[in-house]
Amino acid sequence: MKVVDIEHWERRSHYEWFSSFADPSLAMDVKMDITKLLEDCKARGLSSFAVVMYAVCRALNNIRALRLRVLGESVVEIPAANVAYTLMTNDSCFVNCRAKAAEGFDVYLKDVKNNQAQFSNSGYVQKQFNNVSIIDDIYCSCIPWLNFQSVRQPIPDKSDESKSIPRACWGRYYQENGRMYMTLNITANHALVDGYDLAQAFEAVQKYFDDIDSLISE
């Protein structure tokens, strides 16, 4: 993990300005083409949910601004993020899970399958909510019951560390003119991330959706 020299950082004025906001979030919702991804997942016997989440995490890891985090009074650059995500249980609630996306697809997929086996079909599960942010995470969630146009992510007002962690959410798959799509939301801290960075992230996600061979072989 690298510590950013804020004094000589080109984003210093932006960082100081947006850090003064109660909610410095910058969010975009983009229509993503998942036709090829769904075809390839079906052919490989892979969960599209798992592959979408991995693609999002890996794409965000490719963008330096989305690897920046606030840690106390410092800004740090993490080498890569894992994924923290929500998994629905049989009581129609959810648990928080983690998967090691930074360690490659095979390790990540094993974590996802283990979480599914442990939590999804179990009885009552004590819900765990972390009060301490793990800065080498990306928060992911899916709302598969609804094709939404936009979503607003919950952002805590008393944790600069948590505010700095990117969040992603996607909705139900839908068909349009013979192609399959979904809406993907990415929410980040504008003190660290600009619109250009988010545009790069969405472009990287789409490239992975169109070529999962390159995604899972990284």
CATH number for 132: 3.30.559.10
What is the domain range of residue 162? 2-217
pLDDT for 126 beyond 80: no
pLDDT at position 161 over 70: yes
Give the whole-angstrom CA distance, residue 124 versus residue 97.
16
Task: Assess contact for 181 and 173: CB atoms under 8 A.
Answer: yes
State what percent of residues in the chain have pLDDT above 90.
78
How many folded domains does the chain comprise? 1
What is the mean pLDDT of the segment spanning 148-158? 89
Is residue 62 within 8 Å of residue 79, measured between CB atoms?
A: no
User: 1-33: per-residue pLDDT in tens?
Assistant: 899 999 999 999 999 999 999 899 999 999 999
Contact 31, 183 (CB under 8 A): yes
pLDDT, mean of residues 55-65? 97
Q: Which of 50, 76, 51 is nearest to 65 (CA)?
A: 76
Q: What is the mean pLDDT of the chain?
A: 92
